[in-house]
């Protein structure tokens, strides 16, 4: 049930939080800043509740935070090389905010906008945002909706929908950071991660894909058998050296059919909690919080350090607008963008 709706005045306007409890007493709190997930409380194997999502004590800190914690980046999540792409013969220029590139569409992307709480009903919360033609350099007026549903079996589903009045490019995801132990330990490096992905996207030193799809076999990028996140994170391997850890995109095996597939499974042996992420997106970016040190203080007084949590971001390929061999990121008038991500919490 929708348990509590609160409003907070911030320099960026009035921010709304919505807390939803299910029948078992597990809860999620959603926030209009970036249409994000601020907390998610679920039981461990002993029935003890803990908050397993990184979030901030001060709601004003959700604007302009480097990690984009829990929020929906856009109009194009991840990187676009040199902040430039060409669509229908027209070249577009975006803000540069990540070395020589654009990441998450620049400092005023969707994750740093205050979305409108459109409706709440039956454990469902809908946020909406309209992005003006030319915002952050992108063409077309784009209307976006993010629909969250918290089920009685501890599944948080997210449906992302958008329409445009002019051809544009679009890539939406959720950027929640997970620590299934409830931040009782300093890092997530002992969590077990499984990815049903036999290929990944190698990048240049600025973390832009080269265009190749390389096999993970015999590399530190291989999570086809579950292993601890930290086992190979310090390996002498280009992808890990470029990002100071994992900040890479994997191609989900079989996911080119547009149907729902498991994208990742995360497990914490100490608490017994397991997160299974499913999606109809073609790829998943895993970011091991390599630069979390210095981010805002947590809801429970936590001071977050590097590797304190891991983001599992289901999405299209980074830089797809510049790479014709990648799945198309173009949305045209008359079409509807619809993507789904399910976060299922359980005990193993």
Residues marked active site are found at: 175, 313
Cα–Cα dist 69/12, whole Å? 17
Q: Which residues contact 186 (CB under 8 A, 6 or more apart)?
A: 305, 307, 308
Cα–Cα dist 296/291, whole Å? 12
Cα–Cα dist 225/58, whole Å? 39
Q: Which secondary-structure segment (H or E) carries 341?
A: strand 337-347
Q: Which residues contact 231 (CB under 8 A, 6 or more apart)?
A: none
Q: Which of 187, 175, 190 is nearest to 267 (CA)?
A: 190
DSSP-H helix ranges across the chain: 238-243
Q: Which of 144, 146, 105, 171 is nearest to 317 (CA)?
A: 171
Token pair for 8: 């907070």
Token pair for 83: 């902040």
Cα–Cα dist 175/250, whole Å? 16
For 174, phi then psi, to 5°, come to: -115, 140
Q: Which secondary-structure segment (H or E) carries 332?
A: none
Cα–Cα dist 243/234, whole Å? 11
């Amino acid at each position: 049930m929708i348990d509590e709706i609160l409003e907070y005045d911030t320099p960026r306007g009035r921010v709304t939080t919505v807390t939803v409890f299910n029948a078992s007493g597990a809860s999620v709190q959603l926030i209009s800043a970036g249409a994000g997930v601020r907390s998610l409380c679920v039981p461990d194997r002993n029935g003890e509740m803990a908050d397993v999502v990184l979030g901030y004590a001060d709601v004003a800190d959700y604007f302009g935070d480097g990690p984009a914690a829990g929020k929906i980046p856009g109009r194009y999540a991840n990187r676009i090389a040199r902040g430039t792409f060409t669509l229908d013969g027209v070249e577009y220029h975006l803000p540069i905010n990540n070395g020589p590139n654009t990441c998450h569409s620049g400092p005023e992307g969707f994750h740093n906008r205050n979305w409108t709480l459109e409706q709440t009903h039956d454990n469902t919360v809908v946020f909406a945002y309209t992005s003006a033609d030319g915002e952050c350099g992108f063409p077309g007026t784009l209307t976006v909706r993010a629909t969250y549903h918290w089920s009685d079996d501890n599944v948080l589903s997210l449906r992302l929908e958008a329409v445009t009045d002019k051809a544009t490019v679009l890539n939406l995801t959720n950027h929640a950071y997970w620590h299934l132990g409830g931040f009782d330990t300093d890092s997530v490096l002992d969590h077990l991660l499984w990815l049903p992905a036999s290929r990944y996207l190698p990048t240049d030193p600025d973390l832009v894909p080269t265009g190749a799809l390389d096999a993970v076999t015999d590399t530190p990028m291989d999570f086809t058998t579950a292993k601890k996140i930290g086992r190979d994170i310090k390996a002498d391997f280009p992808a890990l050296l470029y990002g100071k850890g994992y900040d890479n995109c994997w191609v989900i095996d079989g996911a080119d059919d547009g149907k729902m597939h498991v994208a990742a499974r995360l497990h914490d042996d100490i608490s017994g909690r397991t997160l299974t992420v499913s999606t109809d997106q073609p790829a998943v970016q895993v970011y091991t919080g390599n630069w979390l040190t210095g981010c805002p203080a947590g809801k429970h007084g936590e001071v977050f350090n590097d590797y304190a949590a891991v983001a599992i971001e289901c999405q299209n390929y980074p830089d797809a607008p510049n790479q014709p061999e990648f799945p198309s990121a173009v949305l045209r008038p008359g079409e509807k963008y619809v993507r789904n991500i399910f976060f299922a919490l359980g005990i193993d």
